[in-house]
Amino acid sequence: MLYKIIFAFSFLLCSCSYSVYSSGYPHLKSISIIPFVNHTPEYDLDDALLVDLSENFERDGRLNIVGLSPDSQLEGEILDYSNKIHSYGDTEIDEYEVKILFKIVFYDLVKNRIIYQNDSLLLKEVYSPTNENNEFSSEEEAKNEIYNDLFDTIVKLSLEEW
């Protein structure tokens, strides 16, 4: 009897697997990330973004990054960038806010259609070089978080199906 209970329990454990990685497009196995066109005077945004997006797709593992014959393609533009004062403390600037405006297009090249498109995706983060309670302490950290948020937004609104 004990063996039957152990067998039934093992069977239930093995058959009830759940993955947080669902895909509404199981036919997509690879992606090509086209370097973003940078329309801002911030010269390094496009390169840093490409590296970050590539690392995030590699870590995620749903799509392999390829140069030739991809199943999907991500391209976009950096339309605007700002780093402005967000709040003042008693005697100095307390927080800054970084904002980046993107245009994004994610293509399904197998079925020749657009999966996700946003012509004005605005992402922003606040940082403080002086306030230790803030999550980010530099402009660079805020930009990196925006790049991560961009990846999350693209994946959530294109690949994931709930």
CA–CA separation, 91 vs 77, rounded Å?
38
Mean of the per-residue pLDDT values for the chain?
86
All structural domains of the chain = 28-158 (3.40.50.10610)
- Reported as a single tens digit per residue, the pLDDT across 133-144 is 889 989 999 999
Burial of 128 (0-12, 13-18, 19+ CB in 10 A): buried
Can you give the pLDDT at residue 17?
37
- Reported as a single tens digit per residue, the pLDDT across 83-94 is 998 888 777 888
- Reported as a single tens digit per residue, the pLDDT across 94-104 is 899 999 999 99
Q: At residue 13, does pLDDT exceed 50?
A: no
Look at the block and give the residue holding tokens 């199906």. 161
Structure pTM?
Answer: 0.81
* Out of 109-113, 119-123, 134-138, least confident range: 134-138
Q: DSSP string of 12-29?
A: HHHH----S---S-TT--
